[in-house]
Amino acid sequence: MARFIVPPYLLHRLAETDDPRFGRASAAARFSLQEAADFRAARRVAPLRPRSTLVAEPGTDEPAGPARSIGDAQGAEQLPGVLVRSEGQPSNGDVAVDEAYDGLGETYAFFAEVFGRRSIDDAELPLDATVHFGRDYDNAFWDGERMVFGDGDGEVFNRFTASLSVIGHELAHGVIQHSGDLVYQGQSGALNESIADVIGVLVEQYSRGQNAADASWLVGEGLFTAEVQGSALRSMSAPGTAYDDDVLGKDPQPGHMDDYVATSDDNGGVHINSGIPNRAFFLAATKLGGRAWETAGRIWYDTLTSGRVTPTMDFSAFAVATVATAAEQYGDGSGEAAAVIEAWEGVGLVLG
């Protein structure tokens, strides 16, 4: 199943608007929703090229370096598009191609340099992407094999390659797919989205050299045009505050279990309720201080890849697993373990 960065509830609001300022955006939202339905019904994916033979030598943990390829869908809805840039080739002058190429590289570098991971599958899987998908397409997604980026409608959404946190988020779905593979429904699906958000903001923070205290903690910052009253798709520090707009409505994410949204929409609220574990990570990272990827990020990543994560895990079980990882790494009763417990309690999950 494809994993989309823009949640359906936001696109539905935009699709239903009769505001004359956003006629193009409303049509684009309807198209984007239909494309999402089509991808759920049948994956239309063809290989861009044979899988790379660029694999690390047996017995070594040293990442070999990214193997990137960028396809251009040229406004069509077929994948993979025309191959326009491969690993090591210079820019062709297309901003979206360059942003995708660079973002894939920065995400690869984050995993390699911080966690010693060899691409998203830890076995040097090539990083493929397609840009210029559809006309005014208002989304970006991971389809199980590649990243796909729309150009946005220009009225509400800018091009989706412009946000490094979006690129990191979507590639993180690939890491989750090859690790815990959390079922995309209910709380396990919200954890899937949350972990992708965590990785997305950490990739961006790592690229910028930011400490936890200096970071924006926004997912998709810069995606909205100046016409929108909002800063990003989601805020990890303050879920529910990312946007408040006459057309898009107010960001519906809760940041505490008291406000958990029980719904059958959006696969049981995977994009909405992800605000709760997002806030928990923010609380842990800022309590621990310094660079978030070094301690809090390591605890979350090691939990994901430890074998502790089960496909239908709920928030409480994941919280317990992160505490166990922290205790394993830093010691029972350590300040790190205490910070993780305090973070989960801060969003209404009392452990023990």
Residue 261: is it exposed, middle or buried by C-beta count within 10 angstroms (0-12/13-18/19+)?
middle
Closest CA to 7 of 303, 202, 266: 266
Q: Which residue has the tokens 């949640």?
A: 7
Query: For residue 201, which amino acid is it?
Result: V
Q: Mark whether 170 is an active-site residue.
A: yes
Q: Which residue out of 124, 170, 204, 221 is catalytically annotated?
A: 170
Dump strand ranges (E) for the chain: 3-4, 68-72, 82-86, 127-131, 140-142, 147-149, 218-219, 234-235, 244-245, 249-250
Closest CA to 28 of 209, 151, 128: 151
- Residues 241 and 243: their CA atoms lie apart, in Å, by 6
Ordered DSSP codes for 231-274: S-SEESSSTT-SBEETTTEE----SSGGG----SSHHHHTTTTT
Please check whether residue 157 is in contact with residue 224, taking contact to mean a CB–CB distance below 8 angstroms: yes
Residue 6: is it exposed, middle or buried by C-beta count within 10 angstroms (0-12/13-18/19+)?
buried
List the beta bridge partners of residue 234: 219
Q: What spatial distance separates the first Cα and last Cα of the chain, rounded to whole Å? A: 35
Strands 244-245 vs 140-142: parallel, antiparallel or unpaired: unpaired
Please check whether residue 293 is in contact with residue 202, taking contact to mean a CB–CB distance below 8 angstroms: yes
Q: Mark whether 178 is an active-site residue.
A: no
- Residues 6 or more apart whose CB falls under 8 angstroms from that of 274 comprise 190, 191, 193, 194, 197, 234, 253
Distances (CA, A) of 115 to 4, 55, 96, 109, 285: 25, 17, 28, 10, 17
Q: Which residue out of 99, 173, 271, 336 is catalytically annotated?
A: 271
Q: Phi, psi (5° rounding) for residue 241?
A: -120, 5
Active site residues: 170, 271
